[in-house]
Copies of this chain bind each other. A is one copy, B any other.
Amino acid sequence: MRYAYDVYEDRCPTRLVLDRLADKWALLILDRLEGGPVRFNHLRRDIKLISQKVLSQTLKKLERDGLVTRTVTPTVPVTVEYALTPLGRTLAETAAALTHWAEHNMDAILASQAAYDAARTAQ
């Protein structure tokens, strides 16, 4: 066992974080919030192709995890701002390393995929 918790078991911190990032939208939201608080519909417009339902669900999960805050201002109509907590900010920064890796290595991955597919098609 290389970790305090066994990464390869059912309940482990890596799985906990992975299951959060693995919902496909959370990292994008975290990243988008790094620039400061953002309103619901603003997020919706920025993160294209996300549905209202999924954005709502994901924000709720992130709030439950203590990664984002939800602030309601009782104007008419109401405005709601989402922002990173200090904890959320550290995760966003950590996750940004993945983003940078992805940008830097995407071409290599695409080339590998093409070669793999070509080899299988050629048979």
Contacts and interface: CB of A to CB of B under 8 A. Distances in A.
A28 B31 CA distance: 23
A110 to B, nearest CB: 8
Given A7-B31, A8-B28, A14 B116 contact: no
Given A18-B27, A21-B21, A46 B112 contact: no
Interface residues on A, range: 35 or more
Given A13-B99, A64-B113, A66-B111, 15 more contacts: A3-B103, A5-B106, A7-B28, A8-B46, A8-B48, A13-B102, A14-B99, A17-B99, A21-B21, A21-B98, A22-B23, A63-B116, A87-B108, A94-B97, A94-B101
B32 A108 contact: no
A72 interface: no
A55 interface: no
Interface string A91-107: 10011011101110110
A19 B87 CA distance: 24
B9 A27 contact: no
Contact of A14 (B18, B46, B98, B112): B98
